[in-house]
Amino acid sequence: MTDLTEDDTPASGPTRAGFVALIGEPNAGKSTLLNRMVGAKVSIVTHKVQTTRARIRGVCMAGQSQIVFVDTPGLFRPRRRLDRAMVAAAWGGAADADAIVLLIEAHRGLTEGVKTILDALVHRAGGRPVALAINKIDRVKAETLLGLSERMNEAFAFNRTFMISAEKGYGVDDLRDWLAGEVPEGPWLYPEDQIADLPMRMIAAEITREKLTLRLHEEIPYQLTVETEKWEERQDGSARVDQIVYVARDGHKGIVLGKGGETIKGISTAARAELAEFMGRPVHLFLQVKVRPNWLEEAERYSEMGLDFRDGD
């Protein structure tokens, strides 16, 4: 992918472009906010925590500004190598950004996890603008929101505070417009019609992993990953996509397959439909399930997820 040059940008006034990191605890709504801002689904959204593994970039156009969102994994206390790599990726995304948005849940308030993030922000913000976005405001009363805003701003000097509902869209335009003015002047970084800096292979894998996570509930929390093994463009305009679902145990394979293969068939059907809608053309999706007991310790798996294996040390 090549960056645009000065000559490629519109002539109606100066353009702006920059990176914005969305940080917060797991399940705070970062992926939902990213998808709402971009206007398309580019990040996995489930009811489970820690589902965003890679730093997914979504591109949002706001007037003459191009905002490139870095959707980071949720910040939490890491225990496994994968956890440590995810937390390192989150702070790495913040370090590379021109502005930072801390997203918290209105009904959870100032949790211990949020306090830890605030303490880290004091050292990591580096003078960049930091906004507070209090999400899911429809779940609490107005006086509770005001009290939470006061406590948060006493703990850290935020440039702006926004009350939003990422799911319903309340307040999201105001946040977007503010960010549009905070990114630096300069040529756009991506073509105007590009919504994500992410290979279709990875988007396809993320869609399938989302369907697996939704379908399997608590049976296999985070012990699986999906890789797009083969991508074939066909003459009729369709695409054949072959993916492998890696699980850590033999017992997990049976759960993913289901009785008579019904579970994997349902997952494949749901993933194929969403991928076809996303691409705007027919997709033939084929899934295999394989057991790799040590996939959480394989550097190659981390590269597929956009993470650095060494960050887990």
Note the Cα 37 to chain centre separation in Å. Answer: 12
Domain assignment of residue 33, given as a range: 6-182
Q: What is the pLDDT of residue 109?
A: 87
Here the tokens at position 246 are: 């890696």
Contact present, 49 and 126 (Cβ < 8 Å): no
Determine the average pLDDT of the residues in 235-263.
Answer: 89
Among candidate residues 182, 209, 237, the one where a domain is terminated: 182
Among candidate residues 155, 182, 209, the one where a domain is terminated: 182
Pairing between strand 65-71 and 56-62?
antiparallel
Classify residue 193: in a domain, yes or no. Answer: no
Contact present, 105 and 144 (Cβ < 8 Å): no
Classify residue 195: in a domain, yes or no. Answer: no
Same domain, 54 and 91: yes
Of 287, 300, 262, give the one whose Cα is nearest residue 209: 287
CA distance 229 to 243: 5
Contact present, 171 and 15 (Cβ < 8 Å): no
pLDDT in tens, 122-171: 776 778 899 999 999 999 999 999 999 999 999 999 999 999 999 999 99
127 backbone φψ class: left, alpha, beta (φ>0; ψ -120 to 50)? left
Amino acid letter, residue 111? T
| pLDDT level of residue 172 (50, 70, 90 thresholds) | very high
CA distance 155 to 170: 25
* Whole-Å CA distances, 132 to 25, 68, 158: 13, 18, 6
This prediction has a pTM of 0.59
Q: Is 202 helix (H, G, I), strand (E, B) or coil?
A: helix
Q: What is the pLDDT of residue 89?
A: 54
Q: Please give the residue that has the higher pLDDT: either 204 or 146.
A: 146
Same domain, 172 and 207: no
Among candidate residues 148, 182, 216, the one where a domain is terminated: 182
Contact present, 113 and 75 (Cβ < 8 Å): yes
CA distance 54 to 303: 9
Classify residue 313: in a domain, yes or no. Answer: no
Specify the number of domains making up the chain: 2
pLDDT in tens, 15-67: 999 888 888 887 788 878 888 888 766 654 444 444 444 455 678 888 899 88
pLDDT in tens, 210-248: 888 888 866 665 568 888 888 888 889 888 999 999 888
